[in-house]
């Protein structure tokens, strides 16, 4: 896959292995670099270095000052980087929102890049309740953007959900091409019906009504509305219950083609998955086999069956 065909993903430079941390070190994530790097085109950014901080440098932290969160040096609070970081973050977030950025991997616990539970100091105590200043601006400027922390990618479910969202957004951008059209929107939505059913059944219904009314909107406005709705829906992890419902729905398409024994076999696999005795990939493999034997154009178009490259093996842990 050429670089231009890969999903463009922002990343904290230290997570990519760049030695830009305060101690001249890095936080290289092997899964991100070695596996996702085969499919993503990374855009590394270190906000601290970008605003002129040195490597190495004194540590910094978030401090509650009256009703404001400030970014200061840990040992000398008179050295305040709040203004510089806020300006850089807003400018960069604005620039990135104009690109077809499909995701962002940020560094956990960082006072600039942390996504959640970042320490905020007040007097002699610290609470893990903050968001890094840089990432906070990313979230505000691009509420549709899949963002995940490096440490959380060790969780199989969170990892799968993030990768799924990145590939889905990339697919959306590729499907729209140079400019969105009503036809492109409808065709894309049709391919993601099973995916939406698995992640968020209520959003699936709401988005169906939205798409049915697409001609009532200026197409550029609908593009932004649909993108946000899609990514918010996929942010909810696909539950075992919802996946089971989708699997049973798919099974229904083969009811006139399968023998009694085949129906029992796929039924047993779906039930074993529902009970947590098998991973999702088990019934999916058999359903995909039936699909190859008994073709169905609608099912063949569904992104649900292959949301990302199989070599990532993300569904083995679900």
- If you search the block for the tokens 């008179």, which residue do you land on? 78
Rounded percentage of the chain residues whose pLDDT exceeds 70? 100
**Per-residue model confidence (pLDDT) at position 65:** 86
Global pTM reads 0.96
Please, which residues bridge with residue 148 across strands?
105
Main-chain dihedrals φ then ψ at residue 60, nearest 5 degrees? -125, 160
Give the pLDDT of residue 79: 97
pLDDT value of position 2: 75
Torsion of CA 259, 263, 269, 275, to 10 degrees: -160
> So what's the pLDDT on residue 5?
87
pLDDT average, residue stretch 244-266: 97
pLDDT average, residue stretch 155-165 = 97
Q: Are 117 and 131 in contact (CB under 8 A)?
A: no
What does 165-205 look like in DSSP terms, one character per residue?
Answer: HHHHHHHHHHHHTTS--HHHHHHHHHHTHHHHHHH-HHHHH
Q: Describe the crossing of helices 281-293 and 240-252 by its angle, rounded to 10 degrees.
A: 20
In the predicted structure, residue 35 carries a pLDDT above the cut 80: yes
User: Residue 208 and residue 210: Cα distance in Å, rounded?
Assistant: 5
Can you list the pairs that 158-164 forms with residues at least 24 positions away whose Cβ atoms lie under 8 Å?
A: 158/237, 159/31, 159/314, 160/314, 160/315, 160/317, 160/318, 161/234, 161/235, 161/237, 161/238, 162/103, 163/36, 163/308, 163/312, 163/314, 164/234, 164/307, 164/308, 164/314
CA distance 86 to 72: 13
The CB-side HSE value for 150 (13 A sphere, CA atoms) comes to: 23
What pLDDT does 229 receive? 98
E strands, 13-98, in order: 40-45, 60-65, 68-73
Query: Please, what is the average pLDDT of the chain?
Result: 96
- The number of angstroms, rounded, from the C-alpha of 205 to the middle of its chain's C-alpha atoms is 22
Please give the Cα distance from 285 to 282 (Å, whole number).
6
Q: Are 31 and 160 in contact (CB under 8 A)?
A: no
Closest to 172 measured CA to CA, from 213, 224, 246: 224
Which pLDDT value is given to residue 175? 98
What pLDDT, on a 0 to 100 scale, did the predictor assign at position 38?
95
Identify the pLDDT of residue 189.
98
3-class secondary structure, 71 = strand
Position 317 scores a pLDDT of 84
Res 4 pLDDT > 80: no
- Distance between CA atoms of 194 and 243, rounded to whole angstroms? 9
Which pLDDT does position 152 carry in this prediction?
96
pLDDT at 66: 84
| Average of per-residue pLDDT across 102-117 | 97
pLDDT digits (tens, 9 = 90+) for 172-196: 999 999 999 999 999 999 999 999 9
Quote the CA–CA distance of 278 and 78 in Å, as a whole number.
Answer: 57
pLDDT band at residue 318 using 50, 70 and 90 as cut-offs: confident
The pLDDT of residue 28 is: 97
Of all residues in the chain, the percent with pLDDT exceeding 90 is 96
The pair of structure tokens assigned to 102 is 């499909």
């Amino acid at each position: 896959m050429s670089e231009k065909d890969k999903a463009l993903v922002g990343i904290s430079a230290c997570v990519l292995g760049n030695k830009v941390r305060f101690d001249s070190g890095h936080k290289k994530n092997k899964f991100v670099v070695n596996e996702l790097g085969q499919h993503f085109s990374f855009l590394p950014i270190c906000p601290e270095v970008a605003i002129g901080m040195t490597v190495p440098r004194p540590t910094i932290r978030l401090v509650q000052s009256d009703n404001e969160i400030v970014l200061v040096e840990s040992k000398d609070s008179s050295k305040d980087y709040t203004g510089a970081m806020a300006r850089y973050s807003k400018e960069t977030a604005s620039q990135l929102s104009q690109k077809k950025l499909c995701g962002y991997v940020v560094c956990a616990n960082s006072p600039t890049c942390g996504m959640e539970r970042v320490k905020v100091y007040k007097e002699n105590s610290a609470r893990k309740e903050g968001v890094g200043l840089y990432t906070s601006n990313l979230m505000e400027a691009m509420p549709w953007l899949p963002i995940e922390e490096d440490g959380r990618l060790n969780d199989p479910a969170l990892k799968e959900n993030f990768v799924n969202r990145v590939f889905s957004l990339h697919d959306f951008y590729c499907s729209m091409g140079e400019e969105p059209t009503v036809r492109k929107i409808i065709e894309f939505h049709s391919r993601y019906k099973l995916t939406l059913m698995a992640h968020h059944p209520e959003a699936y219904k709401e988005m169906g009504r939205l798409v049915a009314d697409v001609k009532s909107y200026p197409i550029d406005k609908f593009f932004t509305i649909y993108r946000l709705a899609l990514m918010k829906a996929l942010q909810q992890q696909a539950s075992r219950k919802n996946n089971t419902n989708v699997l049973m729905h798919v099974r229904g398409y083969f009811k006139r083609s399968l023998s009694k024994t085949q129906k029992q076999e796929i039924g047993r696999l779906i039930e074993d998955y529902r009970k947590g005795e098998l991973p999702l990939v088990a019934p999916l493999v058999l359903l995909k086999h039936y699909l190859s034997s008994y073709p169905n154009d609608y099912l063949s178009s569904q992104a649900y069956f292959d949301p990302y490259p199989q070599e990532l093996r993300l569904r083995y842990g679900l």
